[in-house]
Amino acid sequence: MIKAIPFDYPYDGRLVAENTALIVIDLQQDFLSTSGYFARKGYDPSPLRAILPTVNRLIAAAREAGVMIIHTRQGYRADTADMTPYEKWRRKRAGLDGTDVLLRSGAGFQIVPEIDVAPRDIIVDKTCNSAFTYTDFELVLRAQGITHLMFSGCTTDVCVHTTLREACDRNFQCLTISDACASGDRQAHEAALHMVTVEDGVFGVLADSDAVIEGLSRLSGRHEATDG
C-alpha cells in the first residue's frame, strides 16, 4: 500500500502493477514555455516546470514496477472544426487568433522534451479539460484492465482535477500526487489538493512522490519476481 491521506492507497490493499496507470496530464510546450498559451494568459509557467524532475522520477519508478504510463495532450484541430463558439470567443479575447497556440498543428502541442516519453507509453489527445470527454481514454483503460489511477501534471485545478473527478465517478481508484501536480495559481492549486481529501476521500487520496515511489518499489520487486 501507498501511504496517503485520508487513508492508505488503495483502500482494500490490492495494488497490482498490471491494473495501475500513472497519468501525466498536459505537460506540453503551450503550458510550460514562456511563449505558450499559459504565459500569454499572464500566468507564470515556472511552477509547472518545477515539477518536471519529480514527474520523471515517478515515470522511471512506474516503468520499473510494470505500471502503465499514459500522457495526455490538449489542443484543437488545425482547422478549429472541433472548437466551440465559446472557446473561439475566449481565443479571440486572449489575442490568439492567427496563432497556432493550442492547435495540434503547432509546436506548442508537443510534450516538453524534458519529460521521458517512451514508445510504449500511451498518449491520449483531448480538446476538453477532462481526458474522458470525446476521447478513447476510458476505452484504453478498460481494454488494458486498468482500475487504479495515479495523477500528475497540470494544471491541478483544471485538467488534473476535472479528469480526476470523472475517473472517480467511473469507479476508478484514484490517487493524486501532490508534488507532481502544479498550477499557475497557488491558491487554486492548494484548494484543489485539499478537495481530494474532503468527505473522507470523496475524490480518492493524496500522497507525495516519495510515498508513491516507495510503494512502486515494492511493486517492482514483485514484478521482477513474477517475470523471473
* Each residue's pLDDT tens digit, 107-125: 999 999 999 999 999 999 9
Confidence at 224, pLDDT banded by 50, 70, 90? low
Q: Which of 123, 121, 88, 80 is nearest to 104 (CA)?
A: 80
> What are the grid coordinates assigned to 17, written together?
502493477
At 3, list the grid cell.
501511504
188 burial via Cβ count (<10 Å: 0-12, 13-18, 19+): middle
**Amino acid 219: pLDDT:** 84
| Known catalytic residue at 159 | yes
The 173-182 sheet, strands edge to edge: 122-126, 68-74, 20-25, 148-154, 173-182, 205-207
The mean pLDDT of the chain is 94
- pTM comes to 0.94
Task: Express each pLDDT in 47-97 by its tens digit.
Answer: 999 999 999 999 999 999 999 999 999 999 999 999 999 999 999 998 888
Catalytic residue among 154, 159, 174, 181: 159
Indicate the range of 72-86, 169-183, 214-228 predicted with least confidence: 214-228
Q: Is 41 one of the annotated active-site residues of the chain?
A: no
Exactly one of 30, 121, 126, 157 is catalytic; which is it?
Answer: 126
Choosing from 26, 30, 121, 157, the catalytic residue is 26
Active site residue 88: no
Give mean pLDDT, residues 207-227: 81
What the block records as the C-alpha cell of 108 is 506548442
- Tell how far CA 15 is from the center of its chain: 19
